[in-house]
Amino acid sequence: MRKISNVFYITIGLIILAVGYGVLAKDNFEAVTTSIKSFVSSSFGWYYMLLLSFLLVLSVFVIFSPAGKIRLGKDDDRPSFSTATWIAMLFSAGMGIGLVFYGAAEPLSHYAINPATAEPNTDAAFKEAMRYTFFHWGLHVWAMYGIVALSLAYFQFRKGEPGLISATLKPIFGKKMEGPLGGLIDVIAIFATAFGVATSLGFGAVQINAGLNYLFGFTIGFTSQLIIIAIVTVLFIMSAWSGLSKGIKYLSNTNLILALALLGFVLILGPTLLIFDIFTDSLGGYLANLVSMSFRTAPLNADYRDWLDSWTIFYWAWWISWAPFVSMFIARVSKGRTIREFMIGVMLAPTLLSAIWFSAFGTTAINIQREGVADLAKASTELTIFEMFNTMPMSFIASVFAVILIASFFITSADSATFVLGMQSTYGSLTPPNSVKIIWGVIQSAIAIILLSVNGLTALQNTIIIAALPFSFIMLLMVISLIKALQGERPKKKVKVRE
């Protein structure tokens, strides 16, 4: 099972072609991918809205259905990781680095720069900003990850199938999933994973570079970002070499501790009462408007529709493109949990942590903007959090903490991705060889470095959004396959034997 599959070589060939196109014809690559991305957003926005809403409803149904009692594994299997470590892993692999990157910047943008419907810099924009930020990082996202991960974990641990996307479709297509069709599905999954993580490596390097420049005057530019990626690559390969139960486990726990420490700093030194008031009010507003936000496509309002394309629909496609990686990792660390426990944990823990995080950082940033202490709206996205800290006590310490946290999340995401890519390219092996993980680690970093060198990250981001569309259809097939398989799990009626 540890043998390298043909999918590995095919995907690497496609990656070389895509990166080569991006380097040799950068402007054309960016123009073409931007055009296709715009077409997908405008033509399939309604589909993305319906898809994620459907997956949220299905997730709630699964939690309360009799299938919730089924264990992801044999009936006597129990979880390999404690609940706290498991949640830390969900938080780190899923979107931890994004919370630091957008924690202050997104709510501030919705409030002061480009609100959805309200006038900028108003109380209505403040409420709307927090409500939509909760929406973009909340239940819909984690329900989608949960359902895809549930399908992978169920077939892998309950049915003994290999840890591959294609293996989850056997109830529909049977042995065809062991041939070219199954290979095509796995190629799409690996391609999306490799490019999705490479994009994050690129953006992570940019933010670390910005933070180091802000703190220590390090030069902002490709050379600095190359050094950052090289150092991080060595660190996450070392972690990947140590295995799942050591490297990723310890990193995830460290991430959660560092994140809670930074969150505590903002809660204590920021506008504490306002943060808790906004959290409570925004949580209520989010839940009260959940249905209308879930299905709103603004067909008769061009300005609002442009906003939806740029934010909500972009996010839905972005999260879908990350689903192969995040969901496969979640599945891998969730053996032994019941379906009900699994879905509740995956949906609620990260959603609640994200809501608290955005309430603290977003409220603090908006409050600084409202009171005129600093014009944070003029700062670039990667610098917003550092500019915010600059107005607070112990700003240098907080900024150093933030850079360390970004780097730690950075390493964990790349580490998790090398593990998942190793699984997918060795026929679903639960313990992919270190040599394969190292190869994927180098490839991810090389993609990020090459495209950073030609300012090609925007085109790369466009490519990931485009790749989300075909994978969304695979997700629907996975749902059908899972439902079909779960129906066969219905407990048999006990037959009374007369004595």
Q: Is 71 helix (H, G, I), strand (E, B) or coil?
A: strand
**pLDDT value at position 51?**
96
Nearest partner of 327 among 156, 100, 461, 160, judged by Cα: 156
Cα separation, 486 vs 265, in Å, equals 46
Average pLDDT, the chain: 88
**pLDDT value at position 492?**
47
Cα separation, 148 vs 55, in Å, equals 10
**pLDDT value at position 393?**
92
**pLDDT value at position 244?**
54
Q: Write the pLDDT tens digit of every residue in 321-368.
A: 888 888 988 998 899 999 999 999 999 999 999 999 999 999 999 999
DSSP label at 290? Answer: H
Q: Write the pLDDT tens digit of every residue in 8-32.
A: 899 999 989 988 888 888 888 888 8
**pLDDT value at position 495?**
43
Amino acid at 406: I
**pLDDT value at position 246?**
62
**pLDDT value at position 143?**
96
Which residue ranges in the chain fall short of pLDDT 70? Answer: 1-2, 93-95, 240, 242-247, 456, 490-499
Which residues are CB-neighbours of 190 under 8 A, at least 6 positions away?
7, 8, 11, 324, 421, 424, 425
* Residue position matching structure tokens 């715009």: 38
Q: Write the pLDDT tens digit of every residue in 366-384.
A: 999 999 998 999 998 888 9
**pLDDT value at position 1?**
43
**pLDDT value at position 70?**
93
Contact present, 474 and 244 (Cβ < 8 Å): no
